[in-house]
A and B are shown apart, each in its own frame.
Chain A
């Protein structure tokens, strides 16, 4: 009886300490939230207040007036097509790489792995020159194509083991029942692999949404800026009003937090799978 009491208290202590660690780690996130709700005067108070003493949504009103909603729409106009484009190509390619093990597919895998070595900011220079020559600067298309180079290789590498884990018998029996291989892909493989596909989709969306380098390099019309560029410009313009900046940052974070809440269990599993392989 004594043994289990100590064991239970030890576990509760471990949980308590665990909560403390996570709270400390995530404190900056709370701080953004708290600062966004404080009036300007309170932000600079010494000592800083843990909880806003004068709750105000003035910062959010300012941020909306400045056009953060348009930024959000632009971000979605970039992130959604990028994710779609990525997933269509990634599912096709990953399926082939999973089902056909040959020297060719090994080289292809190496190609996709190697293409991830390139820092996006490295690619921005030649891409800019190329897009400039094709008159594609200041288009969402340029940004979508550029960001896909970041999301596509990772998605392929992430999805390949997912497809490989599906027993070939399932596909074979479907084919014996008269299903074409395209049908097998759509009606059998994709539904069975939907967890892995969900993870790849979520990560692709997150990365497309969070991208800063490509939009800032290829777009210079304010009405096209996504939230990342919007925040950056806003930060530069507001020299001291940090509550406004934090409010903007919170709005920028909303889609990312939403995806996190919706997919967090799968995300955790997916990150480890993709990176190790």
Chain B
């Protein structure tokens, strides 16, 4: 009896966290939506007068000529990143899943790439992709792949691939760790039985391993998508969104509206669009996995 009473009283322990999230996340989110429907730039924010203007900000944002390229950039960046982060992550996870000396230690070393502040990663890659003196161009030229330096971060064609490459590097360790955990859940007896049926090598990968880590893989891809939309630091420090809008993502566009032009109405509108997109995808994912789980 004493224990159950205490359990009801336990709820008070969860209050601080809930109150904090509601206040610090919920309220700004709601306020974000309100601002997106208001005329809000630095001038009238200071005076506290933000008149309701309905969908004006959204229309203004969508009708800008850079809207479509920026949406395209955001999706290309996100999807391009997660595809290769997953592929490289899977390759490395499978490789270090094998039993050889130092396999665990080496896999743990990879995490070093993930714990570095994104700012440091961005700075590093910016230096390595320097057109004249960067290491990347030197390496590519010395093995004969290219004859002239590639203007990675200054050309509107190469800038987006450049930031995607840096983001892939940054995201690989996370994928390796998650996939390694999923792989370690597969009992060796499954592999042994499969081997008896002749499934080894590529067919084992496609018919046994991949299906068994499907749940984790989908969760990982989903997380990667959300993280891609959330990403700001890396691209901002590498290119500032440039040249012109070549590497501008939704997150960067929102930031520039609000903190460079102080057009909070426009910034929050872009923010709202980004949020709705992520939310829709997360919703589809959750519905999909719940349905699968109830079916199984």
Q: Which of A12-20, A52-60, A62-70 contacts B (4 or more CB under 8 A)?
A: A12-20
Q: What separation, in Å, do the CA atoms of A17 and B13 have in the docked complex?
A: 50
- Chain B residues in 8 Å Cβ range of A180: 6
Interface assignment of A5: CB less than 8 Å from any CB of chain B: no
A44 on interface, CB distance cutoff 8 Å: yes
- Interchain CB contact (< 8 A) of B123 among A112, A116, A249: A249
A99 within 8 A of B: yes
Q: Is B169 an interface residue (CB 8 A)?
A: yes
Contact A29:B264 (CB < 8 A) given known A19-B102, A122-B254, A217-B259: no
The residues of B that contact A228 with a CB separation of less than 8 Å are 117, 119, 233
**Contact B127–A242 (Cβ < 8 Å):** yes
Question: Per-residue CB proximity of A40-60 to B under 8 Å, as 1/0?
Answer: 000110111000000000000
Give the residue name and chain of the B residue nearest to A212 (CB). B233
Segment of B92-100, B151-159, B187-195, B200-208 in the binding face: B92-100
Contact call B232/A213, Cβ cutoff below 8 A? yes
Is the interface on chain B under 10, 10 to 19, 20 to 34, or 35 or more residues?
Answer: 35 or more
Tell me what chain A mostly uses at the interface: helix, strand, loop, or mixed.
helix
CB-based nearest A residue for B29: A118
A115 and B7 form a contact (CB under 8 A): no
Knowing A126-B32, A260-B115, say if A18 contacts B21 (CB, 8 Å): no
Total A-B residue contacts, Cβ distance less than 8 Å: 279
Question: What per-residue 1/0 map shows which CB atoms of A123-153 lie under 8 Å from chain B?
Answer: 1111111101000000000000110110011
Q: Which residues of A contact B127 (CB under 8 A)?
A: 31-32, 35, 242, 245-246
Q: Mark A193-212, 1 if CB is under 8 A from B, else 0.
A: 00000000000001001101
Q: Which residues of A contact B274 (CB under 8 A)?
A: 119, 122
Q: Return the CB mask of A84-110 against B: 1 if under 8 Å, else 0.
A: 000011101101110110001100100
The 12 listed contacts between A and B (C-beta, < 8 Å) are A11-B99, A18-B100, A25-B113, A31-B124, A108-B18, A114-B282, A119-B274, A121-B232, A149-B25, A231-B119, A242-B130, A275-B219
